[in-house]
Amino acid sequence: MNFSYTDEQIMIEQSANDFFSQVCPVSVTRETMGSEQGYDRELWQRICDDMFFHGILIPEQYGGLGLGYVELCIVLEKIGAQLVNSPFHASACMATTALLLAADDTQKTHYFERLLQGEIATLAYTSVNVGTERGWGCDAVEVSFTKQGHQYVLNGTYRYVPYGHHAQWLILAAREQGIEGEQGIRLFVIDADNASISPKHLPTMDQTQNLAHIHLENLILDASNLLASDHHASETLMAAIAAGQIGLAAEQLGGTQAVLDQTVQYTQQRTQFNRTIASFQAVKHQAADMMLKAEASRSAVYYAACIADTALLTAQTQPDQADLQQAASIAKSYCSEAYFFNASTALQLHGGVGFTWEFDVHLYFKRAQSSGVLLGSSAYHHQQLADQLLGQLGRNHLQNNKLGSNKLESHKLESHSLENHSLENNALESSTLKNNTLASQTLKSEEPQQGTTL
């Protein structure tokens, strides 16, 4: 099996690396962090018009490039390396995946054209209890709808929606009022300029990203706004979330590698005791650990991207959720840990200057913190993997335990009977011994005494 990039993928990697490192380095992100808009609209338009990266997943018949998640992750890795503040992940990854899997041909023609023109779309599904009580899957959907004839009335608030206050249109996940679980979920698509939709910017520790809350009050939609059939809405949502987790892991990989590169460069320049600190054994060990984290993250990300290509783009039926969810959780959990490890180690090796505004390391550290929580923390994904891995084993174990219990009970009954039989035998033997003793004593008492006259 060949794990190297194809010629086309090498070209995409070189183009993405040159574009993001030259046109939008971290210094450009710094300029947009304090702005009212929160991101560079002209830069986003250049990504769309000049590089056409946002069309990677869109099929050729709708004007896109018709490529896959491996190519998308290559671009996302370079975006993460430069901390690019753009809606690329929200729009070109999650929203596009939802459209690919759920929209009909008319909807795809309409909305893919708008995406290719540079409009921003985002997927909103999380609630106030996301990540704590309800996780990051279908259970996180708390916005509800009621059916009134042929219309749907939505009410509730979405939390932590990427670029929710900048999006021109939204993909909304809602559940039918009174129905829990996956059965009651529906997906809707709607323009964001509706009077019943109220987005609000959410300031966070990580100023290089944009999140928002979106409040819906009596939002009225009809069948034309529905994206997926009743049966497939939850599967589509879970697949889009998994694609988002893989894409976010690719961004984390880019940051993980970037802080390693910056730290190696700094330690080779910084001198102490008339030698560079890169020559110290302790520093070498930490740098080696950082490199191992980056390389292992790369393997996890591109393995997950290959699984996504197979599950989402080449499957003729609904995606294989088990393999996709497992690969997404592996990538997201490991990359979250690796990014935080490398960013925190980079701060230590930079010393006090790593926390100053002049250096970029603290920005990567904040991004590592925020991205580590978004779409599921490492602990959450560990639990998901454990449930998936041990669920079937647990069911098999339970079944075996039941069979074993029956055998054990049977064995206990047999043992109990055997013990009773042994006790009875012992009692019988004891009784026999007593009788023999008594008989012996009787015989002795009947023997004639010496000197006795008969």
Token reading at 403: 């069979």
The predicted structure's pLDDT at residue 317: 53
Does 152 reside within a domain?
yes
Does 384 reside within a domain?
no
Question: What is the sign, positive or negative, of the torsion defined by CA atoms of 324, 8, 48, 261?
Answer: positive
Does 446 reside within a domain?
no
Does 333 reside within a domain?
no
Does 144 reside within a domain?
yes
Does 390 reside within a domain?
no
Does 350 reside within a domain?
no
Domain that residue 179 falls in: 121-229
**Coil, helix or strand at residue 123:** strand
Residues 6+ apart with CB under 8 A from 17: 78
Domain count, the chain: 1
29 residue type, one letter: T
List the CATH number of the domain containing 168: 2.40.110.10
**Under 8 Å between Cβ of 349 and 361:** no
Residue 308 phi/psi, 5° resolution? -65, -40
- Picking from 228, 150, 219, the residue whose alpha carbon sits closest to that of residue 190 is 219
Is pTM, for the whole model, over 0.75? Answer: yes
Please count the other Cβ atoms lying within 10 Å of the Cβ belonging to residue 202. Answer: 14
From CA 147, how far away is CA 152, in angstroms rounded? 5
Give every residue of the chain whose pLDDT is below 70, as ranges. Answer: 1, 133, 229-231, 315-319, 392-454
Does 400 reside within a domain?
no
3-state SS, 306-340, equals HHHHHHHHCCCCCCCHHHHHHHHHHHHHHHHHHHH
Residues 6+ apart with CB under 8 A from 287: 260, 263, 264, 267, 278, 349
Q: Give per-residue pLDDT as tens, 42-67.
A: 999 999 999 999 999 999 999 999 99
Q: Give per-residue pLDDT as tens, 180-194.
A: 878 889 999 999 999
Token reading at 305: 């991207």
From CA 264, how far away is CA 163, in angstroms rounded? 34
